[in-house]
Amino acid sequence: MYIMLDTSKSSVGQSGDFVTIIDERSGKKFRLAIMRGTMGSPVVDISRLQSEMGLYTYDPGYGMTGSCSSDITFIDGEKGVLMHRGYDIGELAEQSDYLEVCYLLLNGELPARAEKESFTATIKYHTMLHDQMQYFFRGFRRDAHPMAVMVAVVGALSAFYHDSLDIQDEGQRKLASYRMIAKMPTIAAQVYKYTIGQPFVSPRNDLGYVENFLNMTFSVPAEGYRLRPAVIRALERIFILHADHEQNASTSTVRLAGSSGANPFACIAAGISSLWGPAHGGANEAVLNMLEEMQSASRVGEFIARAKDKQDPFRLMGFGHRVYKNYDPRATVLRSSMREVLSELGVEREPLFELALELEKIALQDKYFVERKLFPNVDYYSGILLRAMGFPRSMFTVLFALARTVGWVAQWREMVEDPLQRIGRPRQLYLGSPPRAFVPLDDR
Ligand code: ACO
């Protein structure tokens, strides 16, 4: 079997060239249309490969598979570019705010002033949780990991908000999206309060999105929380940087769960489960554990040697990415703002940041990392920043889930509204036993 480029142009719609695949044994040929998006690599349409050639494709980890078409986010991994609806992530992080980015992801355009005010008011209207939900929290052990509680509480939203479960109803889809974006800060803060044994703090609609979250997380009935502009700005930036990231593992999980027609709260709970793993959103927690274990720059060489040793499962956490073969642009923003934020927070010297810089410097000069194009990803610096703001590391992935909710919701809505959408159902290369006769128990 081989594939050759056929230079004849397709006459159909937006397809450009074709590739022709030829079965060398039978000589059978089939032309596959090449589809081109606005930017990025073209893709080969294989949807008729099975019916024409009796073949499926084999792509473990889906690294070569475009699972959908999307208008939301574009990544050029070779150049280290990330854009939402055509806007560069660096510009959004510098000049926009989180709710504006939420609006952009959901609606495709930046909001005009009146649209922004109306969207902000809608989100504020939905910040509270059904009162009955406090009893749901109480069923958990206090020492549960916050992600374990969050995934359950988000899944349970479908038991409390019956008027936003009908995915065929556009109004209900929108309502579910607004509820999710509005309630995630309340859930995240309550998860935290529950696990440290403090009473829940109600949302305050006189505060902005980020301020309200900080207040619910860190204030107590006996004492308010001093909202510092530097902390608000830094967290706002972290939320923007995590808002969406194309078809990553958790977003694909949301789409796959949603493709069966499952309700939006259940789909987001599935996304949170996927995010929890250390190869995905759990890496920011793992980075801090790694740096603390390392303790001093004198041990950098030892950790790099372990990361390179194929007999050792250890990996340099916060390094490498399926798509970025260059510096993750989100890590660039975090790295460049780190010193400014730390000094505004009154942290003169953060030893873990200095250690992270040293580790990065040495890794980026090492042949192993250079050859494999392994660069720091967003998780490499976010944990250090969150720690400086006072968040315990068990909350890092919870914050990631909070910020990513809008991306999941936008991608879920895009999928439900896509007329070509079908249930997600990959195939397999079966390597098990051929047919054999059943052996009765006494004969085994
Ligand atoms: N440390 C050491 N070696 C690494 C690392 C690393 N962090 N990441 C990749 N490699 C090596 C692999 O061992 C492999 O080497 P080989 O070619 O000799 O076999 C090569 O680089 C390619 O790696 P893959 O595992 O094929 O890359 P994949 O795209 O499957 O995985 C992933 C990407 C999961 C992010 C990986 O780089 C990793 O585990 N990194 C550490 C965890 C991490 O930081 N995750 C956060 C990702 S960003 C996010 O989710 C927000």
By the 8 A CB rule, do 275 and 435 touch? no
Largest CA distance in the chain: 80
Joined tokens for residue 162: 């019956």
Q: Report whether residue 39 contacts ligand 1, using a CB cutoff of 6 Å.
A: no
By the 8 A CB rule, do 267 and 412 touch? yes
Q: How far apart are CA 256 and CA 150, in angstroms?
A: 20
Among candidate residues 245, 239, 233, the one with its CA nearest the CA of residue 83: 245
Strands 29-35 and 73-76: unpaired
Query: Separation of 221 CA from ligand 1 center, angstroms?
Result: 44
Task: For residue 83, give the H/E element and its range.
Answer: strand 81-84
pLDDT number for residue 388? 87
Atom 39, ligand 1: which residue's CA is nearest? 279
Q: Report whether residue 378 contacts ligand 1, using a CB cutoff of 6 Å.
A: yes
Q: Report whether residue 100 contacts ligand 1, using a CB cutoff of 6 Å.
A: no
Residues of the chain with confidence (pLDDT) below 50 = 1-5, 7-14
Q: How far apart are CA 239 and CA 332, in angstroms?
A: 15
Q: What is the pLDDT of residues 22-53, one digit of tens each?
A: 988 888 899 999 999 999 999 999 999 999 99
Rounded to a whole number of angstroms, the CA Rg of the chain reads: 24
Active site residues per annotation: 321, 379
Mutate to test the pocket of ligand 1, among 78, 321, 333 (most ligand atoms within 8 A of CB): 321
Residues 6+ apart with CB under 8 A from 349: none
Query: Separation of 217 CA from ligand 1 center, angstroms?
Result: 33
Q: What is the pLDDT of residues 310-357, one digit of tens each?
A: 999 999 999 999 899 998 999 988 888 787 778 877 887 889 999 999
Does the pTM surpass 0.85? The reply is yes
Mutate to test the pocket of ligand 1, among 372, 377, 380, 397 (most ligand atoms within 8 A of CB): 372
pLDDT number for residue 350? 86
pLDDT number for residue 15? 52
